Structure 1
Amino acid sequence: MYTVKEVSKLLGLTEHTIRYYTDKGLVPSVQRDKNNNRLFDEESLNWLIGVKHLKQCGMSVEDIKSYVDLCLEGRSTIQERYGIIMKQKATALAQLEEAKQRAKYMEEKANHYLDIINEVLPDDTNPGKWQKNMPIAH
């Protein structure tokens, strides 16, 4: 059995986060000792690892709780669990596209600065020196 402190070191989660996850019911197999301290066995660690991965994928605590509850119901909920995962996948793909657009913008901006540095273009990046009719794209 592992304490919160030991689990924190094992999984790279803060003690606060572990307590929060257990308080939210995301680790159904967590046990308590005579002093009401949380104790974790291998099954509890597996739940925490799963929660950690889902959280890193951007899933909300509420959605993770729904997922955990469905897992506890068993095989009959596989379709619903699949739906939750597919919803999160769609969200992650949308975020990826947004990140690609931001990276493209920054690449274009960096290239623009290189043209200024190499004196191909005048410095038009300082908002204090923009003319009234200058395009907003900079």
Structure 2
Amino acid sequence: MLEIKEAAKKVGMNENTIRYYTDQGLVPSVKRDANHHRLFDQASLNWLIGDHRMRAAGMSIRELRYYVKLCLKGNSTVSERAQIIDQLRIKVDQQLKAAQQRAHFLSVKSQIYHDLLNHHRTKDVLNPGTWKNN
């Protein structure tokens, strides 16, 4: 059994995050010693890693709490868990598409700025202060 400091080091997470996750019921296998200090076994470390990955993928704490409850119910919830993951994947794909559009916009804008600099042009078409109303 590991104390929180050792568990944090082992899974590469912040101790405060681990406390929060355990307080939210996201680590159902966590134990407590006589002084109420958290104790982590391998199952608890697995929950922490899984929780951390789901949060990194964009799952909210509320959604993750529900997902953990489903996991605890076992194989009878596989279909519902698959739906949750599929919905999260759609959300992440939409966010990725939006990020790619922003990156493209900035690439185009950057190229125009570099063209202005390289060709010593004086008309700054990217400055909203120089735009004319059409």
Give 1:17's aligned residue.
17
Q: Structure 1 residue runs of 4+, over 6 Å off? A: none
1:3 positional shift: 0.9
Give 1:80's aligned residue.
80
Kept in 1: contact 2:125–2:131 (CA 8 A): no
Would the alpha carbon gap of residues 131 and 83 (structure 1) be closer, same or farther in structure 2, given more than 3 Å must change?
Answer: closer
Give 2:126's aligned residue.
125
**In the TM superposition, what are the counterparts of 1:16-55 in structure 2 within 5 Å?**
16-55=16-55
Unaligned runs of 5+ residues in structure 2 are none
1:9 positional shift: 1.3
Kept in 1: contact 2:109–2:126 (CA 8 A): no
Partner amino acid for 1:61? I
Number of equivalent positions: 133
1:38 positional shift: 0.2
CA distance in 2 between counterparts of 1:84 and 1:3 reads: 32
Would the alpha carbon gap of residues 43 and 131 (structure 1) be closer, same or farther in structure 2, given more than 3 Å must change?
Answer: closer
Question: In percent, how many aligned pairs have the same letter?
Answer: 48
Kept in 1: contact 2:26–2:64 (CA 8 A): yes
Normalised by the length of structure 2, the TM-score is 0.93
Would the alpha carbon gap of residues 131 and 54 (structure 1) be closer, same or farther in structure 2, given more than 3 Å must change?
Answer: closer
Give 1:97's aligned residue.
97
Unaligned runs of 5+ residues in structure 1 are none
Give 2:66's aligned residue.
66
1:125 positional shift: 3.0
1:124 positional shift: 2.7
SS class of match (1:81): helix
1:127 positional shift: 3.7
Partner amino acid for 1:123? D
Name the stretch that deviates more: 117-126 or 63-72.
Answer: 117-126
C-alpha RMSD over aligned residues:
1.4
1:120 positional shift: 6.8
